[in-house]
Amino acid sequence: MTPTFVPETFERVMGCTETELVSWLPRALPDGALTLDRPAGHGVATWASGSLELRWHTLPPRRIALLEIPQLQVRFVYRNLNEEQRYRIQKCFDLQTHRGGG
């Protein structure tokens, strides 16, 4: 769920692999011009008014009994985008990268 206020900079742990995240980015940021530097764990989506920089690195998987969930630490840095623009972009990102039920 996307918070009503999306700060300019924040971090979150996502339950996915780097390969999954990179494959989701074109549809999660559909109207942004996307450039990726996968070896560096870095991507930038650019719009006319600003940009979103993503930096990621792999964390050890989360283990619950026999279940193993991959984890990726992702840092979001919005530049020159107002509150409404950040919310709109983040909401689309969250909807496209959401997994499973509810």
> pLDDT digits over 64-98, tens only?
999 999 999 999 999 999 999 999 999 999 999 98
pLDDT higher than 60, residue 3: yes
Write out pLDDT tens, residues 40-54: 999 999 999 999 999
**Angle at the Cα of 29 from the Cα atoms of 83 and 74, rounded to 5 degrees:** 80
pTM of the prediction?
Answer: 0.93
Residue 3 domain flag: no
Residue 2 domain flag: no
Residue 102 domain flag: no
Radius of gyration, alpha carbons of the chain = 14
Residue 92 domain flag: yes
Q: Residue 65: which CATH number?
A: 3.30.1370.80
Domain enclosing residue 38, as ranges: 9-97
Q: Which residues contact 61 (CB under 8 A, 6 or more apart)?
A: 68, 69, 70, 71
**Within 10 A of 51 (CB to CB), how many other CB atoms are there?**
16
Q: How many structural domains compose the chain?
A: 1
Residue 41 domain flag: yes
Residue 79 domain flag: yes
Cα of 2 vs its chain's centroid, Å: 12
Residue 88 domain flag: yes
